[in-house]
Amino acid sequence: MIFAADLPIPNFPGLAGRQIVWGRSEEFATAPCRRLFDWWTSRAGTGLPRREDFDIVEHSSLAENIYIIVGTPQGFELRLAGEEYIRLFGLKKGWVWHSDAADPVVRDSAAFLAFVAQAKRPLRTIGRLELIERHWIELETVVCPLAPAEDGSARFLGCTAPIV
């Protein structure tokens, strides 16, 4: 897959405090996010990787950091979340981001996912997140688009990790 010049990344005000950039292997701050990005890049030569191409057994060291999101008529639904994702974001399987949400974080997260699906390229974010049980934590995420489902709905494989 040959990538065109970088599209401009829109402003997502609800995601303020996060730096959002195109994924580039040499720029990742955490090993889990870099490994997922490298996996995606190795498979994207002929098109978007399929969900079935990712074998969690082969990538068991990423299990706690991985998440899967699927497009739905309501927006985007979290279908799988590793323990680290749940710890960092507090979101569990079944959470939905939708573009008409009153909450700007939920609304702009849906817009962000729609942009990744349109661009067909991974985006990387770095930012700070305040956890209830402790103070601010630095974290990195990468959201990789996957080939759409048979019904045409978007799919994403992502990874998140704290920056130590």
User: What are the phi and psi torsion angles at 12 (to 5°)?
Assistant: -120, 85
pLDDT at 54: 95
pLDDT at 1: 43
Amino acid of residue 39:
W
Helix, coil or strand: residue 112: helix
pLDDT at 132: 55
The CATH number given to 62-164 is 3.30.450.20
pLDDT at 29: 96
pTM of the complete model: 0.90
- What string of pLDDT tens digits covers the 164 residues of the chain? 444 457 899 999 888 888 999 999 999 999 999 999 999 999 998 899 999 999 999 999 999 999 999 999 989 999 999 999 888 888 888 899 999 999 998 999 999 999 999 999 999 999 876 655 556 778 999 999 999 999 999 999 999 999 98
Strand boundaries in 8-119, DSSP class E: 18-22, 66-72, 75-81, 96-97
Amino acid of residue 67:
Y
Judge whether 124 and 33 are in contact, CB under 8 Å.
yes
Strand boundaries in 23-154, DSSP class E: 66-72, 75-81, 96-97, 123-130, 136-146
Cα(26)–Cα(158) distance, integer angstroms? 18
- Of the candidates 119, 94, 97, the one whose C-alpha atom is nearest the C-alpha of residue 107 is 97
Beta-ladder partners of 67: 81, 158
Taking the domains of the chain in order of start, what are their residue ranges?
Answer: 62-164
Q: What 8-state DSSP symbol labels residue 7?
A: P
pLDDT at 2: 41
User: What are the phi and psi torsion angles at 155 (to 5°)?
Assistant: -135, 145
User: What are the phi and psi torsion angles at 140 (to 5°)?
Assistant: -130, 145
pLDDT at 108: 93
Cα(57)–Cα(149) distance, integer angstroms? 22
Judge whether 10 and 128 are in contact, CB under 8 Å.
no
pLDDT at 38: 96
